[in-house]
A and B are shown apart, each in its own frame.
Chain A
């Protein structure tokens, strides 16, 4: 074998084994999570609330709380983020304002999530007087998701061939018509894929909601935006650090983690499926 072929083989083997290591971590992770938490999983676990000082029962309020928080966050962040990205890519004047906005977005994107939690507490909970509530937590999560959605939407809009924009404008369309009739419909699949991925991210956040929305225990399901809620990630944290029956709480914590993990996996698979089916249909 020639030296360069030997080198090639060695590199291929190295890369292959690195891939295996990565896959192995995920596999080990899943196996361990299932063995620790799988025993508590049942239909009842998903459909009832906790009982007997968190040592029995299920996680329904936390599941519902997480879904509501995530939905509220996306409801706010998605339109705001998409509109911001549209402005940045299509209007974007004056230049200093664009620069300022980009710095703001990138700083937000790089901010540790606990800082969002403190900020949310200071602004929504205390200053605006919304208290620890679904509303405060949802808004805090929305701010967390905003930079991700802006960046992703910008990326999606930039993948729309400029020829489409030119054709539309040359036909006498206004900029607004070009955006709503050509650019956004063409970019929509990628915008949605990015949004779904950020849903997974938002659903799993603990730090932004621990001071703004969540409670250790709620009797029933929240009845309005001003109620505090339970949430899956915070529920795990609470079970592992608070309470008086660690032996009974730990398996429930792992079971909750497993549910959260499966939820995020399902969300990611939906995103992958959406992307795949759109790539297959795309013809430009």
Chain B
């Protein structure tokens, strides 16, 4: 096994008294696409949000166990959370560009992290990110018009570009295509396959077929537990657990 990019060890999470994640052990492989599947409410989005500490924002969240990014414990006391988030980008279910220009959306992460020295470097990085998200050709003539004028699929690719701008190690995708039409979905999926050469991708999806199309590894979660984890190929052909098989064949979900 190559060096894992993200690892969770005995991870438990409670919202108030309600335990949402139960003793999760998971290794996410560097520069691969890992899909997280499971029925609604199984905790897959919550697990995803553990990796950039977005759960911190929810009051009364309690976490035990350990999560590492590279060899760094991201829940260690005194950890700079903004630093973690600059290395772990995230794209949400609903496209959520800021009500700013296309350019300023992509520039945002670089600006708040003070990651560029001057305007020309900023412009270069913004262009590179838009290229990487396959949006450049569509928007290069209107970089300064509102991001809200883009279509839903374009907005989601803008969010990808925005997350990529700071060159993160990991990209967390939380059901990124569930609000998109089939064509835009296909484009995002192809993009994931292209991007995994430079970034580790973790994608939560409701769509089992999507997991099959783009991921090398799949994690199946059920009721807050990680039921099965392995290569997508193996899980989709010979699932080890009955619950996995039932979910994949559509018995529940």
Give the residues in chain B near A166, CB-CB below 8 Å. 54, 57, 92, 96
Considering the chains assembled together, what is the distance between the CA atoms of A171 and B115 in angstroms? 12
The number of A-B residue pairs with CB atoms under 8 Å apart is 69
Mark contacts of B163-177 with chain A using CB atoms, 8 A cut-off: 1 yes-contact digit, 0 otherwise.
Answer: 100100000000000
Does A122 interact with chain B (Cβ within 8 Å)? no
Question: Residue B65 at the A interface, CB < 8 A?
Answer: no
Query: Given known contacts A181-B108, A283-B146, A283-B149, is B96 in contact with A171 (CB within 8 Å)?
Result: no
Q: Is A167 an interface residue (CB 8 A)?
A: yes
Q: Are A171 and B163 in contact (CB under 8 A)?
A: yes
Instruction: Say whether B54 contacts A169, CB under 8 Å.
Output: yes
The listed residue (B86, B96, B162) touching A163 by CB distance below 8 A is: B96
**Cβ–Cβ contact B90 & A170, under 8 A:** yes
Binds B, one of A46-54, A172-180, A196-204, A251-259: A172-180
Q: Inside 8 A of A89's CB, which chain B residues have their CB?
A: none
Cβ-closest chain B residue relative to A176: B112
Interface residue tally of chain B, by bracket? 20 to 34
- Cβ contact within 8 Å between B112 and A171: yes
A 147-177 to B, binary, CB cutoff 8 A, 1 in contact else 0: 0000000000000010110111111111001
Is A182 interfacial (CB 8 A cutoff)? yes
A177 in contact with B112 given A161-B96, A170-B54 (CB within 8 Å): yes
Identify the closest chain B residue to A181 (Cβ). B112
Cβ distance A208 to chain B, nearest Cβ, rounded Å = 38
Q: Is B10 an interface residue (CB 8 A)?
A: no
Chain B residue contacts of A113, Cβ below 8 A = none
Near A by CB (< 8 A), chain B positions 88-110 give 89-90, 92, 94, 96-99, 108-109
Query: Which chain B residues numbered 134 to 178 have a C-beta less than 8 Å away from chain A?
Result: 146, 148-149, 159, 162-163, 166
B173 to chain A, nearest CB (A): 12
A161 / chain B contacts, CB cutoff of 8 Å: 96
Name the interface residues of B47-104: CB closer than 8 Å to any CB of A.
Answer: 52, 54, 57, 82-83, 85-86, 89-90, 92, 94, 96-99
Q: Indicate whether B207 reaches chain A with its CB closer than 8 angstroms.
A: no
Residue B40 is within 8 A (CB to CB) of chain A in the complex: no
Q: Which single residue of chain A is at the shortest CB-CB distance from B83?
A: A172
Using A181-B112, A283-B148, A284-B148 as known contacts, say yes or no to A168 and B54 having CB atoms under 8 A apart.
Answer: no
**Chain B residues, Cβ within 8 Å of A55:** none
Given contacts A177-B112, A284-B148, contact A170 B89 (CB under 8 A): yes
Min distance, Cβ A91 to any Cβ of chain B, angstroms = 13
Q: Which of B182-237 contact A (CB under 8 A)?
A: none
Q: Are B148 and A173 in contact (CB under 8 A)?
A: no
Pair A172/B54 contact, Cβ less than 8 Å: no
Q: How far is the CA of A170 from the CA of B49 in the complex (A)?
A: 10
Is B131 among interface residues, defined by CB-CB distance under 8 A?
no
Contacts A283-B99, A283-B148, A284-B148 given: A168-B94 contact, CB under 8 Å?
no
Pick the contact of A171: B89, B94, B146, B149 (CB < 8 A): B89
CA distance A186 to B98 in the complex (A): 9
Task: Render B9-42 as a binary contact track against A, CB cut-off 8 A, 1 for contact.
Answer: 0000000000000000000000000000000000
Q: Is the CB of A186 within 8 A of B113?
A: no
Q: Is the CB of B113 within 8 A of A167?
A: no
22 interchain pairs (CB within 8 A)? A166-B92, A166-B96, A167-B96, A167-B159, A168-B98, A169-B54, A170-B163, A171-B85, A171-B86, A171-B89, A171-B108, A171-B109, A171-B162, A171-B163, A172-B82, A173-B82, A173-B108, A174-B82, A174-B112, A177-B112, A181-B111, A284-B99
Q: Which residues of B contact A (CB under 8 A)?
A: 52, 54, 57, 82-83, 85-86, 89-90, 92, 94, 96-99, 108-109, 111-113, 146, 148-149, 159, 162-163, 166
Task: Report which A residues bind B (CB closer than 8 A).
Answer: 161, 163-164, 166-174, 177, 181-182, 186, 282-284
Complex A-B, nearest 9 residue pairs according to Cβ-Cβ distance, in ascending order: A172-B86, A283-B148, A163-B96, A171-B109, A173-B112, A170-B90, A172-B85, A172-B82, A177-B112
